[in-house]
Amino acid sequence: MTSPDESRIDPAVVATLYLDYADELRAFLVGVLRDRDAAGEALQATFTKAMEAGHTARRETLKGWLFRVAYNEAMALRRRQKIHAKSLEKLGWHRTREQETPDDNVSRGETISKVRAALDVLSEEQKEVVRLRIYEEMTFAAIAECLDLPLGTVLTRMRLALKKLQREVHEDETGT
Amino acid sequence: MKLEPETTWSPQDELEWTAFRYIANELPEADAAAFERQLADDQSAREAVARCVQVTHAVVALEEARSPVCLPAGPEGDRRRQRRWAVAAVVIAAAAVCCAFWVGAEFAQRDRDEPGSQVVQDDPPKPVNPGLGAVDPSAVIATWLNFDADALDSGLSPEWEEPVKSSSRSAPVADGSFNWVIAAVDDAPLAVPVPPVPGKTAKEPN
């Protein structure tokens, strides 16, 4: 895993780590930072740190190590740029398709096809709540008011829909 | 009202739900801070966040593909407001066009109805070329009636062979009978030879 001088991780290992985990790490960083540019910056810093200090992590824990480094980088970046307050004002982080790389599109295309199949499993009521919450960006309270439903019903529909979506999309990874 | 079925939630389900509410800004501030502290140590929580983001991206992409018009990103309710504004803009534009037509029709009707707006010819129109003011229109008509192309070609018309007597700006044609045409172009006073009118004696121009 390490280079002959034992001071640095083998760059080939870092490249493999990038291929295996970059998409998931980027999604995690986007979820924390709510800003795609900042997430990209934190991802770059994470792999820079992997090059410098990856040899200190055990191979079986490398994924967890990368996520922890990514989390620390995200928190440091948030403190530096104070982007948290900005993100609370506007949550437009998932509409930056033009900034994505071709690799992003390929990996996302697979997820999209899975989600398309998963949406067919949902009831019409669940689909409506999913659309209003995720695409229309309405709060749960606003959805409840719009559909004239109790808030608890809206939350339950969303929760059931999310469970089905996650199961359909990630069943290969979890082996279920 | 349709009730959702009772569901039991596993710890993993709870984690996924918390992660979704975290990325959707639907967690209370204290809960969000607690979840962020959990993210520092809990790898399953980090992966749950990543999964929620990936699913969210995919749903948005699918919805954008289904929608014929993709409106720009905005906070909650922005798209609905933008749709309402678009409809309002179309209605206002249509109303403006109708108003413009109505106002135009009103003015046109007023112009037709007003007495002052009708053309009243108190005086005969003045000739554009002052030099032509001296020409008797009947003489012009008579000239054309007597016009003989063959005679013009052969130069046998005795009246037309008379030289131009009082033209300071001689016409480029030898025949003085066409000086009034050239004068009209030249915009200069001109002595026009009046051809003989049948039944009348030709007069010398002034």
Tell me the pLDDT tens digit for each residue of B47-101.
999 999 999 988 888 888 776 544 444 444 555 556 666 767 777 787 888 778 7
Q: Is the dihedral of CA A122, A125, A126, A131 positive or negative?
A: positive
The domain boundary, picked from A91, A117, A133, lies at A91
Do residues A48 and A109 both lie within one domain? no
Residues of A in contact with B53 (CB under 8 A): 27-28, 30-31, 94
**Residue A92 with chain B: CB contacts under 8 Å:** 73-75
Q: Are the beta carbons of B55 and A115 separated by less than 8 Å? A: yes
Mind listing the pLDDT tens digit of every residue in chain A (176 residues)?
A: 444 455 677 888 889 889 999 999 999 999 999 888 899 999 999 999 988 887 787 777 889 999 999 999 999 998 887 765 665 655 555 554 444 555 555 566 777 788 888 888 899 999 999 999 998 999 999 999 999 999 999 999 999 999 988 888 777 555 44
Instruction: Using the Cα atoms of residue B168, residue B174, residue B175 and residue B179 in order, give the sign of their dihedral.
Output: negative
A32 with A50, same domain: the answer is: yes
Per CB-CB distance under 8 Å, the chain A contacts of B7 are 156, 159-160
B51 DSSP 8-state letter:
H
What is the C-alpha to C-alpha distance for residues A28 and B42, in angstroms, rounded to an integer?
Answer: 13
The reply to whether A87 and A108 lie within a common domain is no
Could you say which of B4, B47, B60 has the minimum Cβ distance to residue A134?
Answer: B60
Q: How many domains does chain A have?
A: 2
Query: CA dihedral defined by B128, B133, B138, B143, rounded to 10 degrees?
Result: -80
Are A61 and A138 in a shared domain?
no
Q: Are residues A104 and A83 in the same domain?
A: no
Residues A39 and A108 in one domain: no
The tokens for A21 are 């985990």
Please tell me if residue B3 touches chain A, with a CB cutoff of 8 Å: yes
Is the domain of A1 the same as that of A87? yes
Last residue of a domain, one of A73, A91, A109: A91
Chain B segment 43-72 residues within 8 A of A by beta carbon are 43, 46-47, 49-64, 72
Please say which residue of A43, A72, A91 terminates a domain: A91
Residues A14 and A72 in one domain: yes
Q: Across the interface, do A115 and B20 touch by the CB < 8 Å criterion?
A: no
What b-and-e string marks burial along A141-153, b requiring 16 or more CB atoms within 10 Å of the CB? ebbbeebebeeeb
Asked whether residue A61 falls in the same domain as residue A2, the answer is yes
Q: Determine whether the interchain pair A63/B43 forms a contact, defined as Cβ–Cβ distance below 8 Å.
A: yes
Whether residue A70 is found in the same domain as residue A132: no
Among candidates A131, A135, A106, A113, which has minimal Cα distance to A23?
A106
Any idea what the CATH number is for the domain that residue A145 is in? 1.10.10.10
b/e code A51-85 from CB counts within 10 Å (16+ = b)? eeebbebeeeebbbbbbbbbbebbbebbeeeebee
- Under 8 Å between Cβ of A98 and A36: no
Which domain, by its residues, includes A64?
1-91
CB atoms within 10 A of CB B178: 17
CA B71 distance to own-chain centroid: 29
Of residues A112, A149, A158, nearest to B61 (C-beta): A112
The number of angstroms, rounded, from the C-alpha of B115 to the middle of its chain's C-alpha atoms is 32
- Residue A164 to residue B42: CA distance in whole angstroms: 23
Query: Are A32 and B57 within 8 A, CB to CB?
Result: no
Residue numbers in A near B23 (CB within 8 A)? 31, 34
Instruction: Report chain B's terminal Cα–Cα distance, integer Å.
Output: 107
> pLDDT tens-digit profile of B150-193?
555 554 444 554 454 444 444 444 444 555 555 555 554 544 45
Tokens of A8: 């640095």
- The encoded tokens of residue A167 equal 């199961």
Residues 149-188 of B with CB under 8 A from A: none
Residues A81, A15: one domain?
Answer: yes
Chain A partners within 8 Å of B44 (Cβ): none
Among B3, B25, B56, pick the best mutation site for testing chain A contact (most A Cβ within 10 A): B56
Based on the fold, state whether residues A83 and A9 are members of the same structural domain.
Answer: yes
The CATH code of the domain that includes A69 is 1.10.1740
